[in-house]
Amino acid sequence: MRKLICLFCLLCLLHPSATLLAVEGSLPEKYNVVWDSPSKDYNGSMPIGNGDIGANVWVEPTGDLIFYVSKTDAWSGGGPDPELLKLGRFRVRLDKPLFQEGAIFRQELDLKTGSIMIHAAIGDIKRSIRFWIDANRPVVHVDIESSTPCSAEIALESWRAEGKFLRGGAQKDIILPVDGQTVRWYQRNVHSIFKDSLKNQHLGEVADQFHDPLLSRTFGGLISGAGLKSKDNKTLVSSEPAKKIDITIHALTAQTKTAQEWLAKIDLQRKKAEEVSLEKAWQAHAQWWQAFWQRSWIDVTSAAGPKKNTTPSLLPPNKLNFRVGVNSVGSEKFKGELGRSSIFKRALSDAEIKKIALTRSPSSQIPEGDILFTTTSEFYSEVPNSSQWSDSSEITLEAWVKPHASNRIGRIWDKTMPGNDEGFLLDSYTANNLRLIAGNHRVDIPNGLKIGEWNHVAVVMEADQNRWAVYINGQKVAGKASESPADHSTEVSQAYALQRFMNACAGRGAYPIKFNGSLFTVDGVDAFHAEPEGVQFGPDHRRWGGPYWFQNTRLIYWPMLTSGDFDLMLPLFNMYREMLPLLRERTRRYFGHEGVFFSETIQIWGLFRTTDFGVNNPGFYATSGYMKYNWDCGLELSAMMLDYYLYTQDQSFVKDTLVPIADEVVTFYSRHYPRNPDGKLHVSPSQSLETWHTAEDPTPVVAGLRVVLPGLLALPESTTSEDQRNRWKRLLEEVREIPIAEEAGKKWIKPAHVFSERKNCENPELYAVFPYPVYGVGRPHLDVARETFVRRANKGNGGWQQNSIQAAMLGLTTEAKDLLIQSVINENLIGNEVERSKRPDSRFPAFWGPNFDWIPDQCHGSVIERVLQCMLIQTDGKKIFLLPAWPKDWNASFKLHAPYQTTVEGRVENGKVLDLKVTPESRKKDIQFLN
């Protein structure tokens, strides 16, 4: 064990930042993702990014480093709609591969520094790669270090240059001729659907008055590196072997008159980046990520107290010591290879078993303080003084095994006499069958092990809870569940941290995060589409394509308020603000009045998705029944911006973005709809989301107006005009009450005042809880909203469904926690069917999906974020509610944001908040505890 630890330390010395996880063991490092083996394909990729440029990174079994690179503004020219395309795929190959049989391998996503660290050792040769995308510049870095001089090559692999998977009207990539020291390529939009889109939606006469965001948009990159030379127009190679090789990829998107102008821009961009040394760039990059993680955090742990180990062991006692790989008389030796083998003095949780199954080498993944014994090499012998270890009420045994085809009966762990099964026995027989004999607990797992491959096996015994379980490669394959519910706090915390990380990787670009894959889509087969079985769609594919869908996109952004990630929200607001001139003109031409409406599906310039509006549609309303009157997303956008102002107190944002958008939205409702005889606004014809296609005065609209209008009136008078305030007051007086049903003394919210034709699986009535908190904890008529939750028609969970958020907002602790855990551990009710929220071949823990959308599903992960936040903290004006839906069996450490530039930091222990720190101090008086 000591020798292997030293080897690991030597590897880490190549890049000191790689040791952070083992040394500090604090947030966010405790949720790093670590793999000890390569990935078979793109499904085993890790995400990384700088806010604008993203990459999927993995090492193939061949030892080659592979990665895709994406950018937030790489839009095709369209056909029928623009698609967000990748820049390319890249392959880095060393003269001695990063992996081969017998190699020590470790790939780690280091959250603290926003980098991926890869360490490999083959014999005496040790290699290290630090992969990072500069948080401050548009540069991808592949930093290679080796214990001996090595050679490397990097190649661009362009499927589009070969004419494959040309989505959204994409052309073949242009790869420039060899220049001796760089690889240069680009995709250039030589045509655009922008004017055709305006013409099809009855705006062709004004098309020349608006900027075409697609035509001549050019995106691509440049590969370079000191000591690298051209092999061909797609490949650079080392001029001579070296111990350090630094490869850079410079990415650029720009609308230029000519391709030569784009080439001049990227060459200048490269020169400016090279003016900063690699070390200075890395330090500034790491500082950005450190500041990001210091903004906020949630770290959940179990509140279960120490157990009283008074229950007898589940194992019958005997005087024999444990043995590894052999029985007590030295026979039935395991044929194959044995790796790390350990005994723990307690019963590890499912999550802990999954963690220790990640690596065969010592690391912080193993809870070493609980280890009774461990060895990291073949050990066909007796463990001294171990006879009484099985007498305690709990124990865990684990081992790495690689069975040979000749293995007939081979012991893994043994504490029995031949011919007498009393004691403990874990072995394999007929090569790949796994068997456990532990007193009365006997189980066979046929074909459980893979011949010639490393398998992780573990057994847990816990007498206090009458729990026992057998695991293979981190997955439970047999056993009896604990009599107390599983905790899952570790998985919840990691899911929260990883989703927030992915948002930061893609949230600072020119356009908002795409809900259907973000920057991290990969090749795959999409069973949703009626295509021949097994057909690949290519790495640019995403279900529902390139347009934005607000109901999905908004879920990514609500959690950013509480986490204080305000900079990540601006691309969303900016995109909608830039649409205003065109949408004002649309409303004037369509309906002859002022104001704007934002449709549920939009192109990046603001008009409907072509499929929804319809080709040759003679009218002004979408032909899709799901989208015909589905435009109340402008109200939710306004509500979100109002909260953004409350949190940041940024009055320039109010003047430049919030009021210009929100005033146009409420003006549309005021001018577009008639009044009833009683003077109340009558929102009809309309619909209640995508679910009720015929609706009058739908709840999302009524609740939205009842939240947005008071929010606008509460803005500082210096940021609004008297005319605006008078119009807002008048409209608020005209808005109807929330529609309520009553029966047998119970009241609940209806989806609209009048409704019919249910078509989808949303609960519009609960929009009066989230995103429009008319009802909730600390607010009037909580009983009405809770009754509505009980009666909701759609009880699904996963993807964009938000029942878990609404449960937390209503203080329904048990329901919120159960739904949250279901989403995290990959078990959800999608529609009316129980489905997995994550495809089994997606190796990265937070690559959810496809669910309703695609992989990775950003709605699913963002709902996890939001519900966890709402369980801990909610606000109403200046009121701050702590623990409104927090389970007493979870502890937590947290730092979260609240309105009026406030942060709330502390610990939860056994249902109590300790070490509470509120900044500014004056806001502490506004704290209310609701647990």
Residue range 241-291, pLDDT digits in tens: 999 999 999 999 999 999 999 999 999 999 999 999 999 999 999 999 999
Look at the chain and count its residues: 931
Say if CB 502 and CB 856 are below 8 A apart. yes
Number of Cβ within 10 Å of residue 28's Cβ equals 23
Residues 700-753 have pLDDT tens digits of 999 999 999 999 999 999 999 999 999 999 999 999 999 999 999 999 999 999
Instruction: Name the residue with higher pLDDT: 178 or 487.
Output: 178
**What is the structure's pLDDT at 366?**
63
**What is the structure's pLDDT at 281?**
98
How far is Cα 707 from Cα 729, in angstroms, rounded to an integer? Answer: 13
Split at pLDDT 50, 70, 90, the class of 228 is very high
Split at pLDDT 50, 70, 90, the class of 840 is confident
Q: Does the pLDDT at position 478 exceed 90? A: no
Name beta bridge partners: 896: 904
**What is the structure's pLDDT at 297?**
97
Split at pLDDT 50, 70, 90, the class of 306 is very low
Least confident of 432-436, 439-443, 599-603: 439-443
Q: Does the pLDDT at position 361 exceed 70? A: no
Q: What is the mean pLDDT of residues 864-886?
A: 98
**Sign of dihedral through CA atoms 365, 369, 374, 375?**
positive
How far is Cα 362 from Cα 691, in angstroms, rounded to an integer? Answer: 53
The whole-chain average pLDDT of the chain stands at 90
* Cα dihedral 558/561/565/567 (nearest 10): 90
3-state secondary structure of 802: coil
Question: Degrees (nearest 5) of the Cα angle 372, 375, 381?
Answer: 95
Q: Does the pLDDT at position 5 exceed 50? A: no
Q: What is the mean pLDDT of residues 290-297?
A: 97
Least confident of 166-175, 524-533, 657-666: 524-533
**What is the structure's pLDDT at 485?**
58
Residue percentage of the chain with pLDDT more than 70: 91
How far is Cα 617 from Cα 258, in angstroms, rounded to an integer? Answer: 36
How far is Cα 918 from Cα 903, in angstroms, rounded to an integer? Answer: 6
What region does 153 belong to: left with phi over 0, alpha with psi -120 to 50, or beta? beta
List of E strands, 316-454: 323-324, 336-344, 371-375, 381-382, 394-403, 409-417, 420-429, 433-438, 441-445
Q: Does the pLDDT at position 161 exceed 60? A: yes
Say if CB 847 and CB 54 are below 8 A apart. no
Split at pLDDT 50, 70, 90, the class of 81 is very high
Alpha-helix residue ranges (DSSP H) falling in 714-767 = 722-734
Residue percentage of the chain with pLDDT more than 90: 73
How far is Cα 26 from Cα 290, in angstroms, rounded to an integer? Answer: 13
Q: Does the pLDDT at position 464 exceed 90? A: no
Phi then psi for 365, rounded to 5 degrees?
Answer: -65, -20
**What is the structure's pLDDT at 17?**
37
Q: What is the mean pLDDT of residues 575-587?
A: 98
